Chain A
Amino acid sequence: MRETLRTRLGWLHAWAGFLVGLIATCIFMTGTLSVFDEEMTRWMQPENQVPANAPLTDTALDAAAALIHEQQLRGSSVFLTLPSPRSPTLDVLHYDGQKFVGTLFDPRSGVPITVRATMGGTFFFTFHYTLLAGTTGTRLVDILGIILLVTIVSGVVIHLRALVPDIVMLRLSAARLRGWLDAHLLVGVLFLPFTLMIIYTGTVVNANLILPATPLTHLFAPEKPETPATGPAVTNAAPPPLPALAPLLATARRSLHGREIGFILFSPDRLSLYASDASGPFLTRDHADFSLPDGHLLGTTTTPGPIAHTIQAMHGLHYARFAPLGLRWLYFLSGLCATGIIASGLVLFIMKRRRASGLRIGFRIGEGLTITTVTGLPISILVFLWSNHLLPATMTGRDRLETGLLFGAWILCAGHAALHSTSTSMNTAWRPQLVMIALLGGGLPVLDIVTCPHAVRSLWAIHAGMDGMGVLAAIMALYARRQLRG
């Protein structure tokens, strides 16, 4: 009876894991990169060389306020993000339907900084939770999260007897399949707390999209087109001039119990100063409101209560915006290992079925898709980074071209894997793609030093981290290639 349960759960774990794992690998890989999304944006905009913790001056605030008022007069809906250690510029932004764009100010002098147009780290963040398919994509990601939780629970039940005794068991000298299984189990068990936490919180933060409080008929109703944020939120009366922002910031900090201010939203009759996401593990939208044009404090809005705190903690844990640098690195490493769990599961699924079904068309497609996911996505991410540094900084539409090149490279990888799916050994597809990762990843530091020497010198930590990740990807790819024999 027990064996029957394990067998059935094994079937569920394998098939659900494989089908969901193909997309989950992409979600986890981009989510892991999103841990350093701000840093990636800074790497991809080498013109912005403002050091972390640059002091914010009244001059800069006045310059930003003048631009905001000018934009408001033109009917644009903009907001202001304040400098933080991760993103030290003062940014006047609006949403263009894909990303936040606008003017970056040096917080010390108030001088606008001209930077190249790029999606930056935002691309990975957006891809991670929407698959670039808007609300429908977010719903899909949420459903995949639930299936992934089922897969994990079934995997734990299958492995329950050896879960604790074999917690540090890895047999590299055993047969190749045994070695892969050990690696999958080892990383799966050791990183189980992180994996469960990140999938559960990720599912909960957008749970309202698949389990709405409103009737289900609304859920499947056709989506309304988004209101273009750049479009005029026209009011009849001209917006009043903004008061000096520095005193309001000080008042808001006091009203929000000493928390730093993250961003400011502007409406016709008031402005709202929101607590920074980095100010604590509970990700809130607590804010202080001030009237316009005189700047009197209208009051503070907080969301107390255990339910609100629970959901704030879920958001905080998943987004990790409160995390100091060390903990952020731990999130990143755990994310890499969680990606490795799913990727190794995909490879195991293929390896186990190669002997029995290796010549079937379904198997060939499955292996082609696995290659496209496991090696194709890293290649396209590296192409994205290379194109950012190689395309002219002033080129029109370069941000769209960067994204286009990423998807172009991914399609080429898929085509390459499909082309080799007719050959007897799929190593002929794995090997060139692994070599490509090694070339692009290993060449990243050279490219960075050659194309942006000033930025490498002034922001060496960010550039060393990014380039180091490229080199790490190259080393891992070369190691994997060496292991592919025959």
Chain B
Amino acid sequence: MIFVIICGLWLLAFTCHVRLQPARYRFARLTPPGRCMAIMGRVAAPACALMLAIRPDGMTGILTWFASLSITGLLVALWLALRRRTAA
């Protein structure tokens, strides 16, 4: 369950990251307050995920945190690629 929440937080972080790069990922430009929120989300979500991950066990937690980064990032990239292909 914790792993799912950590992945969810990484998903939030990647979503914020993608929205902050509108030209690269072909998204609409954010408004200044929206940009501010996205920057905060990009920093806060991984930090929260890390705290959640290391709470039960430090080393296992760090390994899980990195692994969830990789797997969630891969899923986000696949989703973006399919979206781009559909749009094309």
Contacts and interface: CB of A to CB of B under 8 A. Distances in A.
Interface of A: 165-173, 186-187, 190-191, 193-194, 197, 281, 313, 316-317, 322-324, 326-327, 330-331, 333-334, 337
A172 B81 contact: yes
Contacts of B3: 326
A323 B82 CA distance: 34
Contacts of B63: 317, 323, 327, 330-331
A137 B54 CA distance: 37
A325 B64 CA distance: 12
Contacts of B80: 168-170
Interface in B38-88: 59-60, 63-64, 66-67, 69-71, 73-74, 76-78, 80-82, 84-85, 88
B38 to A, nearest CB: 14
Decide if the interface of chain B is mainly helix, strand, loop or mixed: helix
Given A190-B69, A194-B66, A168 B17 contact: yes
A316 B59 CA distance: 10
Contact of A337 (B66, B70, B76): B70
Contacts of B66: 193-194, 197
Interface string B17-41: 1100100110000000000000000
Given A169-B24, A326-B3, A330-B67, A281 B60 contact: yes
Tell me which of A187, A193, A197, A337 has the highest count of chain B C-beta atoms within 10 A of its own C-beta. Answer: A193
Interface residues of B, number: 27
Contacts of A327: 60, 63-64, 67
A190 B21 contact: no
Q: Find the residue from A170, A171, A316 having the highest chain B CB count within 10 A.
A: A170
Contact of B74 (A190, A197, A281, A331): A190
A193 B82 contact: no
A54 B16 CA distance: 48
Nearest to A330: B67
Contact of A324 (B60, B67, B73, B88): B60
Contacts of B21: 165
B60 A194 contact: no
Nearest to A282: B59
B73 A190 contact: yes
B27 to A, nearest CB: 12
Contacts of B24: 165-166, 169
B60 A323 contact: yes
Contacts of B67: 194, 327, 330-331, 333-334
Nearest to A324: B60
B70 A171 contact: no
A319 to B, nearest CB: 13
Contacts of A170: 77-78, 80-81
A347 to B, nearest CB: 18
Nearest to B59: A281
Contact of A167 (B73, B81, B84): B73
**Most chain A C-beta atoms within 10 Å of own C-beta, residue among B14, B25, B73, B88:** B73
Contact of B70 (A166, A190, A323, A324): A190
B59 A173 contact: no
B84 A186 contact: no
B59 A317 contact: yes
B14 A173 contact: no
Contacts of A169: 24-25, 77, 80
Given A169-B24, A169-B77, A193 B70 contact: yes
Given A165-B24, A190-B77, A331-B63, 9 more contacts: A166-B24, A168-B18, A169-B80, A197-B66, A281-B59, A327-B67, A330-B64, A330-B67, A337-B74
9 contacts: A168-B73, A190-B69, A190-B73, A281-B59, A281-B60, A333-B67, A334-B67, A337-B70, A337-B74
Contacts of B85: 172-173
B52 to A, nearest CB: 15
A337 B69 CA distance: 13
Contact of A187 (B18, B74, B76): B74
B20 to A, nearest CB: 9
Contact of A171 (B14, B59, B60, B81): B81
B77 A168 contact: yes
A167 B73 CA distance: 8
Contacts of B73: 167-168, 186, 190
A331 to B, nearest CB: 8
Given A172-B84, A327-B63, A327-B64, A186 B74 contact: yes
Contacts of B78: 170
A186 B77 contact: yes
Contacts of A323: 60, 63
Contact of B76 (A166, A168, A194): A168
Most chain A beta-carbon contacts within 10 A, residue among B25, B78, B81, B88: B81
Nearest to A195: B70
A331 B59 CA distance: 13
Contact of B84 (A173, A197, A324): A173
A190 B71 CA distance: 8
A195 to B, nearest CB: 10
